[in-house]
């Protein structure tokens, strides 16, 4: 039976592999264990060297700190001596001295009697290494020297500076045997030994070394230097590290016999485990031979059919409940593979359709990886930029760089797309030919199933012609406004000339004979002059209205051409400012206000211009004297309403219909209509609404509704119905002029 032969062969191979692994694993593990032991010893030496460096660094810092004390520089004074005695009491140092810049010791605190101290103070110490190094501006840790007591002494010296000049050295000494310097390097492993050796081979700490002093090395080991690698000395494995502060070497060693003992124990365990596995493998083989080979053969045949692509295949195993479960799982897997193949083919068809759609798109599309390297470009990209796919793939979008976007643009761009958001803006690109063009660009991240960004897709639409048309319209708008202003100023000048001449003629004739005689001809000339003056005044008023219309047309054009940028606006402050301006411009008007202290909305920066236009329309187009206007700011839960009510003739139905029905501009070519058009588009671009209704008993009520700051909802529809309002009497004020 093929399956049985294959299974027996498999057991034999497994047994041979495991047997070979025993011998090979033993050798490899022995080498690995030795390397690991050496690495552990090196790490232990590094840690202890770092600990000693840190401790010596603390001592160096202590000496430097005391050297900055002003009293330490008072050479030969009792103040200096008391400061040194305090330093000795409050620090781990056994003796402290000061040597002046000329090399003379000026003071010492070391527990000496008066005679011994007198022999030292005033002595010449300028030839000492630690003094010379400190006078050169260095904080120096000396090599250990043997004192008369046999104890090793280390001196730390540092310069004493006053006004930036070295005026002496502060020298602090401590006994190695009496300090706790080496307490932290003791090994917690019974088989490991730790020693500290100087550069000349003196053992400061280690087995057999008395706390009061060191001893010279007698073995063949290298005492110091820059050597830090693990070394083997006879039957001992050694790890060593050098101190950066002093050049001392810390050594951690362990006998190889201890390593070999651990290796032998582990090897015995391995051999035992492998023997157990072999026995279990043999038993398992016997059980499988009796219970599962037939079922395995059927299962194997089923897998062979699956391997041949016969998805949807089913098998009949029989046997135990477990094999029945296996059969069901196999059949289910086979059916899933068949469904997956169908789905994959459908997905491949969809991907082909998407690719054809992208390649047929008129928009330039390219895909980059997360490092901005281009991976794909469509034909529109090639046509638009002049770069072929072979030239673009592998490059970055910098090949399109025109230099017209600053660093802030790209910083915001990357912050946006790397956070998973979509970026949309206009950009100026440069073609391969060097020609620039404007493009509207949308860049979106492509994430995998786990949400991790794996690529970016960019879609660019050439908007150069649109930008040119916009510039042409702006130029045309400026030319028309300029010419209209000039022509209307000429007309206005002629009208003023006519009116002034009529006045002069009337004045001259008022003193003539006709005035005194009351002839009919004089009265006729007066009536004619009055009529001419009235006509001239009408020309002036119409000229002013047309000039105002030109200014409002400019505002409307600017509002429609600017990009929408919402910001937080204190609408209460904006309304108060508008009311103040109208009250100043129209002192005869009575303006009643009901405005809270402060309320913030989301709007464009032009919202104040819209409020001013509403107030000016309400006052200037009324037929009542005096004009009466009521202004209210009502705060709702999610929105704020600005209401302007007047007692004028009301807004014509035609103008309201044009606004609410979003009709064209033509019916509004007069002052009030164009002003309302400006109001409408400013509010519309602020994501708000404008509503119109009749006032009682006469007049109009215009309500602007804006979203409160922080509210994500936006009011997009424009209606003409009534809305409920609430008054806030606590904020009511009245202005009567």
Highest average pLDDT, of 411-415, 486-490, 551-555, 653-657, comes from: 411-415
Q: Of 94, 104, 92, nearest to 131 (Cα)?
A: 104
In a domain, 691, yes or no: yes
CB 526 within 8 A of CB 506: yes
Provide mean pLDDT across the span 440-459: 91
Do 438 and 496 sit in the same domain of this protein? Answer: no
Q: What number of other Cβ atoms are within 10 A of residue 45's Cβ?
A: 24
Provide mean pLDDT across the span 18-47: 75
Do 442 and 479 sit in the same domain of this protein? Answer: no
Inter-CA distances, 345 with 259, 352, 614, 678, Å: 61, 10, 64, 57
Tally the domains of the chain.
6
* pLDDT-derived band at 217, boundaries 50, 70, 90: low
**Which is higher by pLDDT, 32 or 443?**
443
Report the pLDDT value the prediction gives residue 717, as an integer from 0 to 100. 32
Q: What is the CATH number of the domain that holds 676?
A: 3.30.565.10
In a domain, 554, yes or no: no
* pLDDT-derived band at 317, boundaries 50, 70, 90: low
Q: Is the pLDDT of residue 292 over 80?
A: no
Q: Which pLDDT tens digit goes with each residue over 81-132? A: 899 889 988 888 888 999 999 999 999 988 888 888 888 898 999 898 889 9
Q: Of 61, 54, 105, 103, nearest to 84 (Cα)?
A: 105
Residues 6+ apart with CB under 8 A from 339: none
* pLDDT-derived band at 737, boundaries 50, 70, 90: very low
**Which is higher by pLDDT, 361 or 208?**
361
Choose the final residue of a domain: 175, 210, 234: 175
Highest average pLDDT, of 398-412, 487-501, 505-519, 538-552, comes from: 398-412
Q: Name which of 47-56, 80-89, 260-269 the model is least confident about.
A: 260-269
Q: Which pLDDT tens digit goes with each residue over 481-496? A: 665 667 677 777 877 8
Report the pLDDT value the prediction gives residue 310, as an integer from 0 to 100. 79
In a domain, 278, yes or no: no
> Bridge partners of 252?
194, 239
Report the pLDDT value the prediction gives residue 224, as an integer from 0 to 100. 38
Q: Name which of 392-396, 546-550, 598-602, 719-723 the model is least confident about.
A: 719-723
Peptide bond into 702 cis (omega under 30): no
Report the pLDDT value the prediction gives residue 654, as an integer from 0 to 100. 60
Do 584 and 715 sit in the same domain of this protein? Answer: yes
* pLDDT-derived band at 664, boundaries 50, 70, 90: very low
Q: What is the CATH number of the domain that holds 125?
A: 3.30.450.20
Q: Is the pLDDT of residue 552 over 80?
A: no
**Which is higher by pLDDT, 70 or 511?**
70
* pLDDT-derived band at 662, boundaries 50, 70, 90: very low
In a domain, 27, yes or no: no
CB 176 within 8 A of CB 202: no
Q: What is the mean pLDDT of the chain?
A: 78
Do 610 and 707 sit in the same domain of this protein? Answer: yes
Do 574 and 721 sit in the same domain of this protein? Answer: yes
In a domain, 125, yes or no: yes
Q: Is the pLDDT of residue 21 over 80?
A: no
Q: Name which of 265-269, 374-378, 436-440, 595-599 the model is least confident about.
A: 265-269
In a domain, 23, yes or no: no
Do 607 and 708 sit in the same domain of this protein? Answer: yes
Provide mean pLDDT across the span 659-663: 49
Do 526 and 439 sit in the same domain of this protein? Answer: no
Report the pLDDT value the prediction gives residue 602, as an integer from 0 to 100. 93
In a domain, 11, yes or no: no
Residues 6+ apart with CB under 8 A from 643: 630, 631, 632, 633, 634, 701, 702, 703, 704, 725
Choose the final residue of a domain: 408, 432, 462: 462
Q: Is the pLDDT of residue 665 over 50?
A: no
**Which is higher by pLDDT, 385 or 230?**
385
Do 225 and 170 sit in the same domain of this protein? Answer: no
Q: Of 373, 371, 379, nearest to 393 (Cα)?
A: 373
Report the pLDDT value the prediction gives residue 661, as an integer from 0 to 100. 46
In a domain, 338, yes or no: yes
**Which is higher by pLDDT, 17 or 402?**
402
Highest average pLDDT, of 156-160, 247-251, 255-259, 679-683, comes from: 156-160
Q: Domain range holding 317?
A: 295-355
Do 502 and 613 sit in the same domain of this protein? Answer: no
Do 147 and 103 sit in the same domain of this protein? Answer: yes
Task: State what percent of residues in the chain have pLDDT above 70.
Answer: 75
Do 599 and 724 sit in the same domain of this protein? Answer: yes
* pLDDT-derived band at 290, boundaries 50, 70, 90: low
Choose the final residue of a domain: 120, 149, 175: 175
Do 326 and 427 sit in the same domain of this protein? Answer: no
CB 4 within 8 A of CB 289: yes
Pull the structure tokens for residue 324: 């029945």
Cα separation, 385 vs 376, whole angstroms: 14
């Amino acid at each position: 039976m093929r399956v049985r032969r294959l299974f027996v062969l498999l057991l034999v191979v497994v047994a041979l592999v495991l047997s070979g692994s025993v011998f090979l694993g033993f050798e490899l593990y022995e080498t690995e264990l030795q390397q690991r032991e050496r690495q552990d010893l090196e790490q232990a030496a590094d840690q202890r060297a770092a600990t000693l460096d840190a401790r010596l660094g603390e001592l160096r810092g202590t000496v430097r700190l005391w050297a900055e004390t002003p009293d330490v520089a008072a050479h030969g004074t009792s103040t200096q001596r008391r400061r040194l005695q305090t330093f000795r009491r409050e620090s781990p140092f056994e003796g402290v001295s000061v040597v002046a810049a000329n090399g003379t010791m000026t003071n010492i605190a070391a527990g000496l009697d008066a005679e011994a101290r007198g022999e030292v103070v005033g002595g010449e110490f300028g030839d000492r290494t630690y003094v010379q190094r400190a006078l050169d501006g260095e904080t120096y840790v000396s090599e250990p020297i043997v004192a008369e007591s046999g104890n090793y002494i280390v001196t730390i010296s540092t310069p004493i500076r006053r006004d930036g000049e070295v005026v002496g050295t502060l020298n602090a000494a401590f006994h190695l045997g009496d300090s706790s310097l080496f307490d932290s390097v003791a090994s917690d492993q019974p088989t490991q030994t730790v020693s500290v050796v100087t550069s000349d081979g003196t053992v400061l700490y280690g087995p057999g070394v008395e706390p009061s002093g060191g001893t010279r090395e007698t073995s063949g080991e290298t005492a110091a230097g820059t050597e830090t690698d693990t070394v083997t000395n006879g039957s001992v494995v050694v790890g060593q590290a050098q101190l950066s502060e002093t050049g001392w070497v810390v050594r951690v060693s362990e006998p190889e016999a201890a390593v070999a003992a651990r290796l032998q124990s582990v090897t015995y365990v391995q051999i035992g485990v492998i023997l157990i596995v072999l026995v279990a493998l043999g038993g398992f083989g016997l059980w499988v031979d009796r219970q599962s080979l037939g079922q395995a053969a059927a299962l194997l045949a089923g897998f062979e059919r699956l391997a041949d692509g016969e998805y949807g295949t089913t098998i009949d195993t029989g046997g135990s409940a477990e094999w029945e479960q296996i059969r069901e799982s196999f059949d289910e897997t086979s059916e899933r593979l068949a469904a997956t193949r169908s789905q994959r083919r459908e997905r491949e068809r969809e991907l082909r359709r998407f690719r054809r759609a992208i390649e047929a798109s008129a928009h330039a599309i390219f895909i980059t990886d997360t490092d901005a390297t281009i991976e794909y470009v469509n034909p529109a990209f090639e046509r638009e930029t002049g770069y072929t796919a072979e030239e673009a793939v592998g490059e970055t979008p910098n090949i399109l760089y025109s230099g017209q976007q600053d660093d802030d643009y790209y910083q915001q761009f990357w912050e946006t797309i790397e956070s998973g958001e979509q970026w949309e803006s206009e950009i100026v690109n440069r073609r391969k030919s060097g020609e620039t063009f404007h493009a509207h660009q949308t860049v979106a991240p492509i994430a995998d199933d786990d949400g991790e960004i794996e690529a970016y897709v960019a879609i660019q639409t050439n908007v150069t012609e649109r930008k040119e048309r916009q510039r042409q319209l702006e130029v045309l708008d400026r030319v028309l406004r300029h010419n209209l202003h000039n022509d209307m100023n000429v007309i206005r000048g002629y009208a003023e000339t006519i009116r002034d001449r009529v006045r002069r003629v009337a004045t001259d004739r008022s003193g003539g004979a006709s005035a005194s005689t009351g002839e009919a001809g004089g009265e006729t000339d007066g009536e004619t002059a009055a009529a001419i003056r009235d006509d001239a005044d009408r020309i002036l008023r119409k000229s002013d209205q047309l000039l105002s219309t030109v200014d409002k047309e400019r505002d409307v054009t600017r509002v429609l051409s600017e990009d929408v940028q919402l910001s937080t606006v204190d609408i209460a402050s904006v309304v108060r400012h508008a009311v103040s301006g109208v009250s100043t411009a129209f002192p005869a008007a009575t303006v009643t206000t009901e405005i809270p202290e402060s309320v913030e909305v989301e709007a464009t920066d032009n919202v104040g211009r819209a409020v001013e236009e509403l107030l000016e329309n309400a006052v200037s187009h009324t037929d009542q004297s005096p004009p009466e206007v009521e202004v209210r700011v009502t705060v709702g839960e999610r929105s704020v309403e600005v209401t302007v009510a007047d007692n004028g003739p009301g807004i014509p139905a035609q103008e309201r219909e044009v606004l609410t029905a979003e009709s064209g501009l033509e019916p509004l070519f007069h002052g009030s209509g164009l002003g309302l058009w400006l109001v409408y588009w400013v509010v519309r671009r602020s994501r708000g609404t404008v509503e119109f209704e009749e006032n009682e008993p006469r007049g109009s009520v215009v309500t602007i509704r804006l979203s409160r700051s922080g509210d994500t909802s936006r009011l997009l529809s424009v209606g003409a119905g009534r809305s409920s309002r609430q008054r806030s009497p606590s904020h009511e004020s009245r202005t009567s002029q």
